[in-house]
Amino acid sequence: MKVGTPLAPVSRVDQLTSAIRQAILTGQLEPGKPFKVNELAATFGVSIIPVREALQRLVAVGLIELRPARTTIVAPLSVADLKELYRLRILLEGDAIKRGAPQLSAQELIDLEEMLEQMADLRPSSEEFWAVHQRFHQQLLGPTLSPRLKQALDPLWAGTERYTRLVYDEIGFGPNHHSPEAAHRVILDAVRTGKPRAAKDALVAHYDTNLAWMLSGLSSIHSED
């Protein structure tokens, strides 16, 4: 299993967490597959202790599961899980954007516009794209994104990103699917109206569209297996 290169000792657990998370999101560590902690440690050239700490962090965001007999697996994928992720995101983010959008400053709106321009210039398969995408969704929530809310949303964001990457890498966007920049611009335009309900409705519509696309994509992928 080749999922990384030896890491420098500085911030070792942070680096390991990021590297293993990346391996999961890109499918290098496959959903539902068990792996040995000592092999993972050897891959990165570190001891088992920091690897275990990193894995505990990934357990907290739902990307890793610890099973009986000290078995460690990448969290499996399922239609029910995907639907639950989006149901919870709509509940939490729908409320947050409704409260937070009217409080966004002029500079924050400019920053969101710049993020859209960056999305348009980046490939959806690139790490830079996903970093900008994450910042965009966080900024949309404005001051309502408290530490506690972010703690609740982090595993939901990580979970949906994994499904999105899988479907995009396998089948890409369909002919009727808007570009990421265009799809997110609809949300920003609604936020600019200053109407809380419009902002929430645009976000929910975006998530409903994403969910339908991913469900169709998962069905296509499974039919080919």
pLDDT digits 0-9 by tens, 75-89 = 888 899 999 999 999
pLDDT band at 14 (very low <50, low <70, confident <90, very high): confident
Average pLDDT over residues 123-127: 84
**What is the pLDDT at residue 186?**
95
Position 1 in a domain: no
**What is the pLDDT at residue 12?**
84
Shared domain for 47 and 115, answered yes or no, is no
User: What CATH number has the domain bearing residue 38?
Assistant: 1.10.10.10
pLDDT exceeds cutoff 80 at 4: no
* Least trusted range by pLDDT, from 12-16, 139-143, 151-155: 12-16
Shared domain for 67 and 162, answered yes or no, is no
Residue 82 and residue 218 in contact, taking contact as beta carbons nearer than 8 Å = yes
Compare 117 and 143 and report the one with higher pLDDT: 117
Position 207 in a domain: yes
The residue whose two tokens read 């440690």 is 41
Shared domain for 106 and 38, answered yes or no, is no
Q: In percent, how much of the chain has pLDDT > 90?
A: 45
Among 29, 48, 74, identify where a domain stops.
74
Shared domain for 139 and 219, answered yes or no, is yes
Average pLDDT over residues 99-124: 94
Residue 135 and residue 94 in contact, taking contact as beta carbons nearer than 8 Å = no
Shared domain for 132 and 158, answered yes or no, is yes
Exposure of 51 in the CB half-sphere (CA atoms within 13 A)? 19
Among 74, 96, 116, identify where a domain stops.
74
Domains identified in the chain, total number: 2
pLDDT exceeds cutoff 70 at 214: yes
Burial class (CB in 10 A: 0-12, 13-18, 19+), 129: middle
Position 128 in a domain: yes
Nearest to 200 by CA among 153, 144, 141: 141
Joined tokens for residue 94: 């729908």
* Least trusted range by pLDDT, from 89-98, 102-111, 152-161, 176-185: 176-185
Give the total residue count for the chain: 225
Residue 103 and residue 143 in contact, taking contact as beta carbons nearer than 8 Å = yes
Shared domain for 136 and 201, answered yes or no, is yes
Average pLDDT over residues 110-122: 95
Shared domain for 87 and 54, answered yes or no, is no
pLDDT band at 9 (very low <50, low <70, confident <90, very high): very low
State how far the Cα of 119 lies from the Cα of 132, in Å rounded to an integer. Answer: 7
CA-based R_g, the chain, Å: 18
Among 74, 103, 121, identify where a domain stops.
74
Best-predicted range by mean pLDDT (38-47, 109-118, 164-173): 109-118
Shared domain for 195 and 138, answered yes or no, is yes
Shared domain for 70 and 87, answered yes or no, is no
pLDDT digits 0-9 by tens, 21-78 = 888 877 788 888 888 888 888 888 898 899 889 888 888 877 888 877 677 888 888 8
Shared domain for 207 and 132, answered yes or no, is yes
Domain containing 165: what range? 79-224
User: What CATH number has the domain bearing residue 186?
Assistant: 1.20.120.530
**What is the pLDDT at residue 202?**
97
